[in-house]
Structure formats: C-alpha cells, structure tokens
Amino acid sequence: MTPAQIWGCCHFVEGRFTVGCYNYPMASGIKHVQEAQVKAEELRSQIHILDYEYYVKNEPSLSDAEYDELMRRLRAIEADFPELITPDSPTQRVGERVAEGFAAVEHREPMLSLANAFKQSELEAWNTRARKLAGRDKFRYVCEPKIDGLAVALVYENGRFVQGATRGDGLRGENITENLRTIRSIPMQLQGKNFPEHFEVRGEAYMPKAAFEKLNEERAERGETLFANPRNAAAGGVRQMDPKMTAKRRLDIWIYQLGWADGDGASVPAGHWDTLRWLSDLGFRINPEIKRFDKIDEVEKFYRTWEDRRHGLQYEIDGMVVKIDDKSLWDELGYVGREPRWAIAYKFPPIQATTKLKRISVNVGRTGSLNPFAILEPVQVGGVIVKQATLHNEDDVRRKDIRVGDVVIVQRAGDVIPQVVGPVLSKRPKGSRPYRIPKTCPSCGTEAVRPEGEAMSYCPNLSCPAQMYRWIGHFVGVMDIEGLGEMWVSTLLDRGLIKDPADVFFLAVDQLVELDRMGEKMATKILKNAETAKSRNLSTLLFALGIRHVGGEIATIIANHFETLDAIAAASTEEIAQVEGVGPKIAESVHAYFADAQKRAIIEKLRKAGVNMTQKRAKRVEGPLTGQTFVFTGTLAAMPRGKAEALVESLGAEATGSVTRKVTYVVAGADPGSKLQKAQGYGIEVLDEDAFWAMLKKNGVKA
Ligand code: IVH
C-alpha cells in the first residue's frame, strides 16, 4: 500500500500523516494524487530545462541551491506518491532502478566503424575516390573531433528516452538504458515538438580528463588497479551492474549522428550539418568545435590546428572525423566492409617529445626478470607529464643504443605506456657509454643470470623481496582473490604476515584486522574470496604460479594435457615439449620450475591449504559455441565456476583462466575481479550472469 492508497483511512496531525498508531511523514504536504501529478510534471519539465541549461549549454539560470530545492520537492512528491514515478523523471537519473543485466539489443541499422587516414595523402585519396564514385567535383565536409570514448545509440519514442545501447559488435549491443540515464546531458525528454515519433541518435560517451584523473587517484588510494585511459574507464563505467556506480564515473556524451527515424513528427534535414543543428535544438549535446568546409585543403588546415589544440580540451580526442555533408550521397557511396565511404577518421600521429634521460633504473618482475626503465627529465607528452618510460629489455636498449645522458624521443600512443623510441644522436654528450644491465639484482643483491637465447637477465633468488611482491601480486590477481590488491600484498609482506603466495591461504581475520584501514567486514570478505579461489581450475593455478614464459594460454594447454599438477611436476622436459603448442624454451622453463626445491615447498603448502590441483581434460567437442573462448570472473549465483566452464566446453567452446585478445566472452558474476577491466580494455564482450544463461538457453541448455 502506498501512502496515497491508504489516504482514505487516515488523517493529518500537525503536518504528519497518521495511520492507526503509526506516524508517516508526509514529505510533500500534498494530499491528492491529481494535484501531486500536476505538480510533479511541472517540476520535472522545469528540472529538464535546468539540466539542459547546465549540462548541455553550460549556462545555468538558477543557483545550485535553488536547483536542489526543486529536486527535493520532486523527490518528496514521488516519495509520497510512488505510483507517479516515471522512468524519465530526473530523480531516476541517479540510478534509483537497478539495471536488469545487459540484455542484447539488435541495432536496427548496424553501427559502423571508420576507415583511418594518418597523413594528408591518405585524406586526399579518400576524397578523390569519394568524388569519383559520387560523380561530383565538389563536396561540403563536416569536421568533428573524434572523441575517444565509446559509441552508444539512444532511442526516443514520442520525445522520451526509452533505450540506450552499446555498439557491441555493430549488429548487437548491450542494453545499458538505466546506466545512461545517469548521464545528465542525455535528455530524458526532448524540447519542442519538432521530432519524429520514433528515432535513434548516436554519440560518444566519454569520461572527461578531470574525472579520469580523480578516479585513478581514488583507485590508487584504495590499492586498486588504475585505468590506462579515460576510454577504458568510460567503457567500464557504462557497463556497471549498478547504475549508481555509473553515476560516480561522471561520464558525459557528445551526440554526432542521427541513426534511423520513422513515424510522423518532423522532416529530417538533408545535410549532416543541419541535422546536428536540429538535434541541438531538440536538446542534444553537440560538440561546439564542429565546423563545415567547402574545400579539402581547409579540412587539412583545420586538422593541423587541432594537433596541438587538442591538449587544451577537457576530454581526449584522437583525431578528426571528416564526413560528407550531403546525406543523400551516403547510401550512394556505400560501404567497404564495416566502413562507410562517406566518412573517414583522420587520426593524430602518436605524440612524441624529446627530453633528457637522467638514469636507467631496473625493476624486478615476478619471474625475476630485470626490466630496465628510463627516469626522464619530466616532459609534457600530449598533455600528460611523463617522468618514466619503459625500455622493454636489456637487448632493446643495446639495439637502440640508448645511453644515460642522451636526449631521447619519448612517445605515447593510444593507451600504451610511454616508451623511449630512441636517442637523438646529434645531441649525444661526449664520453657517454653503452648501457649495461647491473650484474646483481637491485633488490636482493644476488648475482643475475642471463639464460642462453634470452633477451634479458634474471634474479635467480626466489626469496628476493621485489620478485616475491610481484609474484604474489600476480598470484592473487590470476586466482581472482578480490579485495587483495597490490597495496595489501605490500602491507602483508612488510608485516611479515606472508612470505610467499601460499601464505595467503593461511591468513586469519584477527591478523588482518590489525592492519590500518582494514575492518572485520573487509577481512572476512577477503578470506572468503581466498577460500573460493582454492577451487579454481588447474590452468588458472598453473598461470598463477608465475612460471617464466607460461602465460594464460600456455597454462591451459599444459593443464589440459597433464590434468594434474603432480603429472606436470613429474614430466621431463621432452615430455612437456611434446605437447602441441609448447616449445622447448617453455618446456625447459616448466621443468626447471618444478625441479626447484623452494618452488616445490610452496606447492606443498598450497596443497595443504586445499588448493585444487587437477582438471579434467576438456574433450574437444563440436558444438554451437565452437570457436568461442570464455573467461569467468566473479561469483556466479547458479553454480560454481568450474561447472560453468565444463558447460561451455560441452557446447564446443574453450574456457580459459586469463583474458587475452583471443577471448570472445568474459562472464562477470558478482564482485568481478580485474579480468573485467582487462576485458573492457580489449573491447571484449562482457556477459552478466543473466545474459550468459540466456546464451546457454539459446544453445539448448535446459534450466
Ligand atoms: S561517426 C559510420 N563521429 O569513432 C561511422 N564517430 O572509429 C559512425 N567516434 O565507432 C561514427 N567521435 O565510436 C563518428 N564525431 C564522431 C566520432 C566518432 C568518435 C567514434 C565512434 C566510432 C568510432 C569509429
């Protein structure tokens, strides 16, 4: 019963609404539902206009306090009369409703991608070809910043926002309507009446640079992995299961296209430029930097001005999109594969800068590899201050002859961490010497070894603190022990509570709660997650063991072949090398690992902790999912992960423990781990549990 329904049997006492002996606060002070409805609608349209002024036009006409007061009044009415809540009410933006998983959405018209041009000649070749095909000697071009975010499609029915979806594979995306409602610049209701009954717009959802920096700062404080760039953070943001989490990411959107439109209501402009203006009048956020030109030379000039100016923008762009204005030519020009001929992405070159290489430091990887990296005189590269950059490995430094004291070229390209491209030889100081990697481990002082045929040196000491820190970090990450981030690993090592990965399974709540900022709730959760991790499959365990040259895929191949850790440990180098897909270098490394007494002691400890060390060989069956590769992360409500893996394997798919580009689906249960972010970073399709079951059902699996 809502307060409105029980109104008839109650009365007001000093502004409070009483039923029997209970007091209900009547927040809005409105008694009748009709009155409430009129008032709510009035407030909603007022707030929609204020949102538009603030979030789209950037010209607020009321103070924040006045705006908050209107919101408070609307919330009060909706609290008293919940039956009046509409999905497009501004109160629903903050994620009052939980997203119902991500159902698939078929795009009525495919969402395409763009061909790239990197230099003027490529832009001109595109232009010449388009002119020839269209039989025109002149075009008008619309130039738009290419926003580095993710494409979304928004559907409006009678002026109301009814559905939002990701691009997905271009034909089918995910329904993320509830999450998109939290983006305040997406109009829930359109302005005026000049719109088709039913239509779709497309745009780029993105995370502003400031929001990105703040998010990463917060994540660093919590010891969580950082997002490589705003695009990944935005992609993760729109796929949150809880819209409240999306709201926290402070995403925004630029609308760049009309999708399809039908029904009466408005005639759509014939040009793209005019379409954008019309969309702007309806209340959509259209990028103010968009320009129209008559000549391709002007396009080139405009692009050049942005090579530098882009760093001053509050969001990242990675090029300019050039579109032919006349939409009647779009169908005529058609497509090549998934790329229309009427548009091209004119990308910016990777951003480079030169600076002085002050020192070469070395960090120790989880397998003991000594990884050189550059300490630089701080330099701005594409709006970001770079102080360190990777140097890959010792051989690479030698090959490029990068020396301490050199002026070097530093590069940032897309989401890649800054790298040193090479030295500027003309500026080399006198007396510089070729680089040599230290002969001893910088962390423990043990003499480094350089195995034959390898590009780098290694610290052979398993108890080396730096190596152990990285190994444990890798172990808890791969075993997906959620909550135990790198920060905690470091604290636990410092306190002597763990010395190797197996110790993680022997921690107790009273040890953990002793740590600063660790409550009982969190400690219990971490231990519960560790308990669950014990039943991961052998492939996952093998990868987590941090054997040199054994990544996720190789681990799966070896685990499937031998089926038990003991069988792998007992195998000779030759036996391992006979497994298809495993080379002699890997076989040697695996064999050496299990021959090591220290490693064997850790494995015995893992056994004592009850960690699963077996896996049934996946029989390669042909089925509807043949060719697909699944990774599971988080807790599935319906069955243990191992069962779900067996199920997809029985349908012909492969189940693996680690996210690589080969993976086609990541299934995210409750509390998903870092695999989810990695998947999002790679643009791999993520299924929640409902979507996963829907897929299984479609492929003949009974509930
Ligand atoms: S037009 C048929 N305009 O770039 C092409 N795309 O590489 C429709 N993007 O998937 C896209 N800014 O996510 C267009 N102003 C812009 C854009 C833009 C960013 C993205 C979009 C698209 C990708 C293609």
Nearest to 401, CA basis, from 428, 376, 430: 428
Check residue 18 and give its pLDDT: 30
Q: For a substitution probing ligand 1, which of 107, 114, 144 has the most ligand atoms within 8 Å of its CB?
A: 114
Spell out the residues 6+ positions from residue 433 whose beta carbon is closer than 8 angstroms to its own. 403
- How far apart (Å, rounded) are the C-alpha atoms in residues 662 and 655? 11
Output the residue whose Cα is nearest ligand 1's atom 22: 113
- pLDDT value for 662: 76
Task: Give the C-alpha separation, 199 to 410, whole Å.
Answer: 46
**Ligand 1 contacts CB of residue 173 (under 6 A):** no
Give alpha helix (H) positions in 563-616.
Answer: 565-570, 573-577, 584-595, 597-609
* Backbone phi and psi for residue 585, each to the nearest 5 degrees, phi listed first: -65, -40
**Separation of CA 413 and ligand 1 centre (Å):** 19
Q: Where is 376: in which H helix or E strand?
A: strand 370-381
- Cα 156 to Cα 120, 195, 238, 369: the distances in Å are 39, 9, 19, 55
Are the CB atoms for 174 and 188 separated by under 8 Å?
no
User: Atom of ligand 1 at shortest distance to CA of 287?
Assistant: 15
Q: How far is the CA of 146 from the centre of ligand 1 (A)?
A: 6
Distance 381 CA to ligand 1 centre (A): 25
Q: What gap in Å lies between CA 136 and CA 690, rounded to an integer?
A: 51
Residue 310 burial (CB < 10 Å; 0-12/13-18/19+)? buried
Quick one: pLDDT at residue 21?
28
Q: Is the Cβ–Cβ distance between 695 and 647 less than 8 Å?
A: no
Q: Determine the pLDDT at residue 206.
A: 96
DSSP class of residue 10?
A: -
Geometric angle at alpha carbon 508, from 504 and 510, rounded to 5°: 140
Residues of the chain predicted below pLDDT 50: 1-25, 96-99, 415
Q: Is 561 in the pocket of ligand 1 (CB under 6 A)?
A: no
Helices of type H across 52-138 = 64-80, 120-134
List the strands of the sheet with 11-13, edge to edge. 11-13, 16-19, 22-25
Nearest CA to ligand 1 atom 11: 113
Query: CA angle, corner 237, sides to 308 and 72, nearest 5?
Result: 105
CA distance 100 to 177: 10
| Ligand 1 neighbour 147 (Cβ under 6 A) | yes
Q: How far apart are CA 147 and CA 236, in angstroms?
A: 17
Cα–Cα distance measured from residue 391 to residue 400, given in angstroms and rounded to the nearest whole number: 10
Q: Ligand 1 pocket test: which of 109, 113, 254, 324 has the largest number of ligand atoms within 8 Å of its C-beta?
A: 113
285 vs 504: CA distance, rounded Å: 50
What pLDDT score does 224 carry? 63
Which residue in this structure is represented by tokens 């808890």?
476
Contact 246, 150 (CB under 8 A): no
| Beta strands 629-633; 665-668: pairing state | parallel
382 neighbors 452 (Cβ within 8 angstroms)? no
Grouping H, G, I as helix, E, B as strand and the rest as coil, residue 660 is coil
Q: Is 107 in the pocket of ligand 1 (CB under 6 A)?
A: no
Q: Which of 200, 201, 256, 285 to mutate to test the pocket of ligand 1 (most atoms within 8 A of CB)?
A: 256
Instruction: Report the pLDDT value the prediction gives residue 454, as an integer from 0 to 100.
Output: 80
Q: What is the pLDDT of residue 654?
A: 84
Task: Give yes or no for residue 353 CB within 6 A of ligand 1.
Answer: no
Q: Which residue has the tokens 């991500």?
A: 102
**CB distance 256 to ligand 1 below 6 Å:** yes
The residues annotated with a catalytic role in the active site are: 146
Among protein residues, the one with the nearest Cα to ligand 1's atom 12 is 146
Q: Is 578 helix (H, G, I), strand (E, B) or coil?
A: coil
**Vertex 459: Cα angle to 458 and 464 (nearest 5):** 145
Residue 94's SS3 state is helix
The CA 54 to ligand 1 mean position distance, Å, reads 25
**Would you state the pLDDT for residue 455?**
80
Could you give the CA distance from residue 262 to residue 41 in angstroms, rounded to a whole number?
27
Positive or negative: CA dihedral 210, 216, 217, 219: positive
Which protein residue's CA is at the shortest distance from atom 23 of ligand 1? Answer: 113
- For every residue of 406-444, DSSP letters joined together read -EEEEEE-TTSPPEEEEE-GGGPPTT-------SB-TTT
Token code pair at residue 396: 């690479």
Q: Is 229 helix (H, G, I), strand (E, B) or coil?
A: coil
CA of 113, closest atom in ligand 1: 24
Query: What distance in Å separates the CA atoms of residue 108 and residue 260, rounded to the nearest whole number?
Result: 8
> What pLDDT score was predicted for residue 392?
79
Ligand 1 pocket member 154 (CB < 6 A):
no
